Amino acid sequence: MIKQPDFVTKRLKLLPISHRHAASLWPILSHPMVRQYNDIPEFVDKTEFRDYLQTDIELWYQGHGGRWVIDFQGLIIGSCGLYPLNDECSHLQLSFELSPDYWRQGLMYEACSRLLEVSFSELNIPNRPIFARCKAQNVQSITLLEKLGFKYATQTEQYHEYTK
């Protein structure tokens, strides 16, 4: 079994997600400002949330993707990851969430840049096209995706979709 690695950037540590991060991530993913832009399900309780995290952990060991928490100065401030977009695992989806207290500081760009940089070279994730989507009104995420090199692909009723 291959251990999911840590990664370091200039200001951040990207740590493999584990159940010990549940208490730190719960308030971020449940925050109304984050929820308005995210498609992660609303969790009834922390047990349901831990089950959700378990799915992320299992993705890594299945070789289909993974999620890392973002540590900034010793605090967990968000997460980012790559997930199979479909059952055939022919495409990956980039996903990211950040506490509103840390928006507009370039931290998510730093985290996602590092994740994308190592995704196929250093990780146990097969090289596949990467897809990302964000709600049409989420200008900050649209800007982030474009800065990361994603190209606009299409728009649905709720989302702008991008590929890399």
Domain assignments of the chain as residue spans, ordered by start: 7-163
Helix (H) or strand (E) holding 76: strand 75-84
The predicted model scores a pTM of 0.90
pLDDT in tens, 56-106: 888 878 877 889 999 999 999 999 999 887 666 678 899 999 999 999 999
- What integer is the mean pLDDT of 6-11? 92
For domain 7-163, give the CATH superfamily: Gcn5-related N-acetyltransferase (GNAT) (3.40.630.30)
The phi, psi pair for 107, rounded to 5°, reads -70, -40
3-state percent helix, strand, coil for the chain, nearest multiple of 5: 35, 30, 35
- What integer is the mean pLDDT of 132-156? 94
Structural tokens at position 106:
């370039």
Residue 43 near residue 35 (C-beta atoms within 8 A): no
Burial (CB count within 10 angstroms: exposed 0-12, middle 13-18, buried 19+), residue 42: exposed
Q: What is the pLDDT of residue 1?
A: 46
Structural tokens at position 10:
């200039």
Give the C-alpha separation, 38 to 59, whole Å. 20
Q: What is the pLDDT of residue 56?
A: 86
Q: What is the pLDDT of residue 43?
A: 82
Among 59-63, 117-121, 137-141, the range of highest mean pLDDT: 137-141
